[in-house]
Amino acid sequence: MATHALPARPDPLLADLARCRDLTVALVAPLSDADATVQSMPDASPAKWHLAHTTWFLETFVLRDHVPGYTAFDPSFAYLFNSYYEAEGARHSRTARGLITRPSLDRILAWRAHVDAAIADAAPLLGSDARTLIELGIHHEQQHQELLQTDILHLFAQNPTAPAIWDHPRDTPAAIPGPIEWMPGRTGIVQLGHGGGSFAFDCEGPRHDVLLHPHALADRTVTNAEWAHFIADGGYDRPDHWLSDGWTWVKAEAIEAPLYWQRAGDGWASFALDGLHPIRPAAPVTHISHYEADAYARWAGARLPTEPEWESAAAGHDPAGGNQLDTAGPVRPRAAPAGTGLRALFGDVWEWTGSAYLPYPGFRTAPGAVGEYNGKFMSGQSVLKGGSCATPRGHVRASYRNFFYPHQRWQFTGLRLARDL
């Protein structure tokens, strides 16, 4: 499948955009038109839709709004590929995205190439507001790159033949780490939130004071082996570990293990983008809900870290380090590297916190449609931190706030324990 890179330009913003756009196309290269059309559940979107929506975002907010005389590639696409922007008018139902059999995958890729070329041609004349929107468009598409991978994974997991999207040699399993070590966290009044000077989403600010009480964080995330022990000890069968809503969810959905785990003889196997294989005992557990993470923490005599505790601990750690997405191919969490202190804060798995996704003091939504990006979702969701193996490298930072509903688990979600001191 051909990619549609922007022409080479000295402009670093255009270079970043080209790399981002090419990676998205590379991620869908193994897919057929049918693969890219199907929607496996209401929370997921077809690969074709991700390709189209990220292009709609750039065509609408950059080209339509900032390039006089620009004509939309296809006016019907605005209805088909708007996601949730009420200010942009009526749109196709989210739950019916898998019914958009046309336009074809090739037609959408042609649209992407058209929009890329139009931005490159207009770039010398674009002002600061348009360039800011291009930067937002890059980070927006990086979010969809991760969603694209997790949605493809969920789709292929429904296939009883357990097909691998990318083959990958099975390496020698890492040694199971020793017991968790506890790292005392900062205490007292600390400043959290994005401090400016570089890109951040609006929900990451304003920077504000938070009081931290004595606490400690686990030096690493919880492993598959530890989770298997939780299962063997009746973790999914004892209501005393669970929040009331979580226990209701476990019973209603017959949950007995992380998503994609299945019994394999006396052990467990899990499905991933490289097919069905035995779980890696030393790797971080993933595809767990907030309910499951909270129940495990209670079972372990601990709790989930708060967002301020996690963010303060991440200060000074390289957010571009760890196991994150660099190129298209199989992604999977890896065992925490050897060493001392807090390890693998960034990459591998998103870490559930015990904090609700709420606005910081002084938060204000931006005017216009782009103001709908984050603020209106600040209800009933929990914050995750740190990125995952499917997060494009360079996308996250300590202040980054990912958020999902407590029952959702098709993302690369795991946990790190905390406790009071």
Q: Are residues 82 and 150 in the same domain?
A: yes
Q: Which of 219, 383, 394, 390 is nearest to 319 (CA)?
A: 394
The 3 state secondary structure assigned to 62-101 is HHHHHCCCCCCCCCCHHHHHCCCCHHHCCCCCHHHHHHCC
Average pLDDT rounded to a whole number, residues 178-202: 94
Domain interval for residue 384: 182-420
Query: Does residue 177 belong to any structural domain of this protein?
Result: no
Given a contact cutoff of 8 angstroms between Cβ atoms, the answer to whether 357 and 381 are in contact is: yes
pLDDT of residue 374: 75
Residue 8 has what pLDDT? 54
- Check whether 2 has a pLDDT greater than 60: no
| Judgement on whether residues 349 and 404 belong to the same structural domain of the protein | yes
Give 52-88 pLDDT, tens digit per residue: 999 999 999 999 999 999 999 999 999 999 998 888 9
The answer to whether residue 174 sits within a structural domain is no
- How far apart CA 233 and CA 212 sit, in angstroms, is 33
Integer Cα distance of 120 and 227 in angstroms: 49
Distance between first and last Cα of the chain: 55
CB-based contact 304:418 (threshold 8 Å): yes
Mean model confidence pLDDT for the chain: 94
Q: Kindly report the pTM of this predicted structure.
A: 0.94
pLDDT confidence bin for 173, thresholds 50/70/90: confident
CA distance 28 to 50: 10
Work out how many domains the chain is built from and give that number.
Answer: 2
> Residue 348 and residue 327: Cα distance in Å, rounded?
15
CATH of the domain at 298: 3.90.1580.10
Residue scoring higher pLDDT (195 or 159): 159
Q: Is the pLDDT of residue 349 over 80?
A: yes
Residue-level pLDDT at 372: 65
Percent of the chain with pLDDT over 90: 87
Confidence of residue 272 (pLDDT cuts 50, 70, 90): very high
Q: Where do the DSSP E strands lie in 118-249?
A: 182-184, 188-192, 208-212, 215-218
Other CB atoms within a 10 A radius of the CB of residue 190 amount to 17
Mark whether 202 and 271 lie in a shared domain: yes
What average pLDDT does this structure show over 310-322?
95
Report the CATH number that the domain containing residue 93 is assigned in CATH.
1.20.120
With 0-12 / 13-18 / 19 or more C-beta atoms within 10 angstroms meaning exposed / middle / buried, residue 90 is exposed
Q: Evaluate whether residue 165 is within a structural domain.
A: no
Distance of CA 313 to CAs 237, 345, 420, Å?
34, 9, 15
Q: Residue 376: pLDDT band by 50, 70, 90 thresholds? A: confident
Tell me whether residue 1 is in a domain.
no
Same domain, yes or no: 240 and 295: yes
pLDDT category of residue 1 using cuts at 50, 70 and 90: very low
Co-location of 20 and 105 in the same domain: yes
